[in-house]
Amino acid sequence: MLHERLEPIYDEVIHRNQGETEFHQAVREVLESVGPVLAKHPEYAENKIIERICEPERQITFRIPWEDDNGEVHINRGFRVEFNSALGPYKGGLRFHPSVYQGIVKFLGFEQVFKNALTGLPIGGGKGGADFDPKGRSDSEIMRFCQSFMTELHRHLGEYTDVPAGDIGVGGREVGYLFGQYKRITNRYESGVLTGKNLPFGGARVRTEATGYGCAFFVDEMLRARGTSFSGKRAVVSGSGNVAIYTMEKVHQLGGVVVACSDSSGYIHDPNGIDVELVRQLKEVERERISAYTERRPGAKYLEGQRVWEVPCEVAMPSATQNEINGRDAETLVANGCVAVGEGANMPTTPEGVRAFRSAGIAFGPGKAANAGGVATSALEMQQNASRDSWSFEFTEKRLQEIMRDVHARCHDTAEQYGMPGDYVAGANIAGFTRVADAMLELGLI
């Protein structure tokens, strides 16, 4: 429930951002946690910090004309929402997917503000993308699209201003094309202006693995806080893309057994443990559906059109997209003995699902905390670019683990401080919010 002083603020957010349902959901989820903060910090209300945090500093929408291999002209729409720079330059990914519109970008940017704050690193929050679908497009078509996209966006970027990264539909290939066009237009080899780069031109080791590894590290910390660990526990991971693959890899390294994963068509159940290398081969090399897994793994089953959350497990790790776990899914997981949930995707659990997990006492790691490993490693990439340095895989992974341990401690300790022990949703929202709010007070009314 919202604190009575926050109801009119939320109503105004809906009024000013009509039709942007994902953004409304993200704002409400934070506002539901920060009521107790206002009693402790009346200066936040006096300076209208909450109203200012809910309004992006800048929203950019632009046209992207490009030509396909057959000479046909296409027009897409691009977005960049520079949400909050109180802690540092705007930082957040670019998403290329047909579902992208202003509401999705604003929800992601809003979440990014608090996620970045939780890392303890000096980065603000932003997000961007386009309603372009890279699936089925040739490399040359994707290159032309990226070049047209950057031709407009470059004027808003800079290593001390706004530093995008990759997201859904934007990997090392796309970041390379984007950076190449930025360099061509600006005549500056400004490595730190984009992260998620491939290693030959300034990328960081572990960046590919970072979101999945970081989520597993966070869940491991939650389990340890309850006197247990991943050892011997069954885990279910939704999705079979980058985040899911490296979540599964690290869960196995930490002693867990991932028994199911999915794609948009259905899921596979392998009681002996998912063969992560086979999934990687199918999805990243052969671009196959996950159903092909059962052709090479005799003991596995494929269930078309079914929900992966029906598989009994002790740990659930949604790693695909927003709102993929609903209230019924959450109740099924609880009934089947799930004790911990770590959100590898952004806001993958509906409000009803979150309520079900919290009321059942599940150790629930919200995305803004559990999947902060990706942006944390992007910030490490920025550090390496700024110092013209390159770190080893082992050193970078150790830094990632330390950061995720600190993120967990901030959430855990803040929840206890506000009388809500074990509530990682409240802990993450309050810890992220207060860090940004304090910086905003220091900077004055801007």
Residues flagged as binding site = 91, 112, 115, 166, 211, 242, 378
According to DSSP, the β-strands at 234-237 and 73-84 are unpaired
C-alpha 51/C-alpha 440 separation (Å) is 12
Binding-site positions for substrate: 91, 112, 115, 166, 378
Cα Dmax for the chain: 64
Between the CA atoms of 252, 396, 93 and 286, what dihedral angle is there, to the nearest 10 degrees?
A: -50
The closest alpha carbon to 380, from 371, 390, 370, belongs to: 390
Q: How many helices (H) and strands (E) does the chain have?
A: 17, 12
Question: Can you tell me the distance from the alpha carbon of 178 to that of 337, in angstroms, rounded to the nearest whole number?
Answer: 45
Which of 194, 200, 208 lies closest to 93 in space, CA to CA?
194
Taking CA atoms, 256 is separated from 55, 197, 263, 340, in Å, by: 41, 31, 21, 13
Residues of the binding site for NAD(+): 211, 242
What gap in Å lies between CA 444 and CA 446, rounded to an integer? 6
DSSP single-letter state for residue 81: E
Strand order in the sheet with 315-317: 301-304, 266-269, 257-263, 234-237, 315-317, 340-342, 363-365
Q: Which residues are catalytic?
A: 127
